[in-house]
Amino acid sequence: MLDVVDIQKILPHRFPFLLVDRITQIEKEKFIEAYKNVTIGEQIFQGHFPGHPIYPGVMIIEGMAQAGGILAFESMSEDEQSDTQDKVVYFMSIDKAKFRSPVKPGDKLVYKLRVIKHKGSIWVLDGKAYVDDKLACEAELKAMIVDK
């Protein structure tokens, strides 16, 4: 549905910190599915860990948060979307984070986020990340859309 060029129009993140390659499903105010192709060429693997590359859990959480930010922005009304360049999503909390299986170079990391609660500028999301339909990570994310 949205490719990386579309994503860059929504999120301020850029290489090497843009962690969403494509949005495959989105239902405003409810759900988003996105993915990131994890490759050995990523800078993070130079130090995590040489000879045994594992994609860091904190990067998985950040990728889920970026997908959640896209859901929040895409759920705005057309009037609100006109000023997204002046808005940014801030993390408020990460709860119930669990890492279930390692993510390695060559994996397609699929993010699935569901809205638990949305009130005003606050969003609470249930996030899960999968590799080949196997749960790799889960967390409850809380974020707020604020003016830059």
Instruction: Report yes or no: 89 and 40 within 8 Å, Cβ to Cβ.
Output: no
Q: Please enumerate in sequence order all residues whose Cβ is within 8 A of that of 15, keeping only pairs 6 or more positions apart, or say none.
A: none
For residue 3, what are its two tokens?
A: 């490719």
118 is catalytic: no
Measured in whole angstroms, the distance separating CA 104 from the mean position of its chain's CA atoms is 17
Instruction: Report yes or no: 83 and 43 within 8 Å, Cβ to Cβ.
Output: no
**CB count in 10 Å sphere of residue 140:** 14
Catalytic, out of 13, 48, 52, 118: 48
Cα separation of 142 and 144, whole Å? 7
Strand partners, 119: 122
Cα separation of 114 and 25, whole Å? 12
- List the catalytic residues: 48
